[in-house]
Chain A
Amino acid sequence: MKEKEIDLAVVGSGPAGLSAAIEAAKYGASVEIIDENALPGGQLFKQIHKFFGSKEHYAGVRGYDIGRKLLDEAENLKVDIRLNTIAFGVFNKNKIGLFDQKSILVSKPKKIIIATGASENPLAFPGWTLPGVMGAGAVQTMINIHRVLPGRKVLMVGAGNVGLIVSYQLLQAGADVVAIVEAMPKIGGYFVHAAKVLRIGVLILTSHTIIEAKGDKEVESATIAALDQNLNPIKGSEKELEVDLICIAIGLRPEADLCRMLNCEFTYIPFLGGHVPIHNEDMETTTPGVYVAGDVSGIEEASVAMEEGRIAGISAAESLGYISSEEAEKEKMKCKERLKAFRIGPFGSPRQEGKNKIFEEYKRRVKNVK
């Protein structure tokens, strides 16, 4: 088995992974990015809408253009990007087992950044296994990357940002979004996204959910119902909708299996997606030398992923000795300030609270470990 020694291995080439690799490479570290997909950029290339925020957050730029910019920067810094390569496990504490569809390779990095993102939460209901019930992310990949429409009449389950954005993208792709149901009494996503679909006349039904999907071999209809304050379906409120595609957009959870193999400790923060690997403000986990960035460290957004990636990359470069502590602190502070500015308001502050809980947990655990 071929073994390759390297300063830093970054698992995941999404916004967090790319940003991390760019920072570390800027300071001279030898960096390798590993991604199981055929294309780099993670979720960025599916985002055909314009981002908003500050200039550093690429306001006004479409997701896929941001992805391209980051990719170019990484390539210019001679970062090695291994695509179609799955990191199937970590062994003997610091050997990453890689499989590139042909043979097994071993990466022996001094530091590791896990930026593997998140996966969608499933929702079980009668008929949920019928072809035609899919994750909203799955549908987004099909329509925006592969230019294939998996259905014509859609029921979207979940009115968070993913549900709203994908509904809009389905409309752009030529589908008819019959309704969006949201179990909570309020729309979970940004109003900017909700407004876009409402303007076109899509029905957003809050305090509603899907009860059943029906069809002989595929989805042919869906039954929805209203919910009372205890989130129980109200008898008699059932409505049958003629749809052939049901998208589930009820949240994401960190994909942190590699962190578990690295013996990172976890804590449970519902607002950030459930079980998250504990880390400090420098993005280091309870396992020294292992960092996390992006959705894997708590579900937030691409802009946050980029900042966290930058912090992780700088921290790794610092611990490798490529940048002095003073300079590292200065650079990290800029990212941390931007993160603070991004985690305010009704959508941002619960995330800041969640992250604060994680940082407290880190202080508690690492003190004990020492």
Chain B
Amino acid sequence: MTRTSLWRALLVMALAVAALAVAGCGDDDDDGGGDGGGEQAAEVRQFPADTTMGKIQNRGEITIGVKYDVPPFGFKNPQTNEVEGFDVDMGRIIARELGVRPRFVEAISDNRIPFLQQGEVDLILSTMTINQERDREIEFSQPYYIARGRILVPQDSDIKGIEDLAGQRVCTALGSTYEETLREEAPDAELRLVDTYSECLELLQNGAIDAISTDDVILTGMIIQDDTLKMVGDELTTEPYGAGIKEGDKQFQSFVSDTLERAQRDGRWEDLYQEWVGQYIDKQENPPTMTLKQALALG
């Protein structure tokens, strides 16, 4: 190979790598689609530039951490390749209130709080249960959903409740509240801790574990995907979900709480509930009336 043809070959390769890198950097996260534009221009309240709300408005977009694999709260629709769900739509409500585009990123139970602390996301809406341990690291909004803990097993399982979990292999997410709950309530169960609930589902379906324990809505999402599974057991726990805000940012916390509360009062909450949850589990739920104080008192 001559020197010029060697340089040419290297140049072509470098350009190819650069082209791939640029293509890869394309935003494949949902950026709010069409409705970010016109409708709210008239009514959006402008916040002072030194508040978090003001800074978000200056940026023109709010970054929200949501789950990507927990239907029906946050999941990527395989056909449209966009993330959607109850949490996602709650995020859109908040974004609309600020008049900005919502940008969604994946937050798993393990990294969502560090993401918030480091400023990778402005807000977390990812089926996050309010508890005192987390409250030390971040601020919570008022509860926007109450889930109950249950157990999911295959159709032919003998497990009827938490008492039957002794000696069984139980899966839940690393860093979730269920890890603690299971250690306390079922100390003889063999825990398998994984990154995401979709991995738990895979393990249950291929027989590597005997049960999954987490919020009933997440379990419902699994039943939607695989109806040979059944939910058993009494309500293990009450899990009030709250939005996560950076520690110390009381202004943003009240803004988010107020926005969520308004949605609960004016019927938007009920619409979202019906669309994402109600139609699958045939239940009628009312918007939560629990306060943040009460939620923290639960644990």
Binding between chains A and B: no
Chain B residues with CB under 8 Å of chain A are none
